[in-house]
Amino acid sequence: MGMPIGPLTMLAVYVVCWWISLFAILPLGMNQADQERPTDGGQWGAPLQPNLKRKFLTTTWVSALVWLLIMVLVYIGWMPLPELTPPT
């Protein structure tokens, strides 16, 4: 019994997991309570230290874990996928 999906589909599932994880992780650690109103024309809602590199790394390993869980569920049959190939 092999994997019911191909490598391109696996990559697509990982990309979707990565983007969903990114939008879930981006607001973490943002606190504007101690932020003063900008006087130089800057955007009020922009964080002083966004820590994007750390958030991208966190997003990568979180999405890898979610992707692995999805692939295990597909492999053992708990998340069956429909047959999309046309009949021959």
pLDDT tens column, 20-58: 999 999 988 877 666 677 777 777 777 777 889 999 999
pLDDT tens column, 48-67: 778 899 999 999 999 999 99
Helix H or strand E segment including 20: helix 7-25
Q: pTM of the prediction?
A: 0.77
Task: Tell me the CB-side half-sphere exposure of residue 4, using CA atoms within 13 A.
Answer: 16
Confidence of residue 81 (pLDDT cuts 50, 70, 90): confident
Give which of 25, 49, 23, 24 is closest to 35, Cα–Cα. 49
Query: For residue 51, is it left (φ>0), alpha (ψ between -120 and 50) or beta?
Result: left
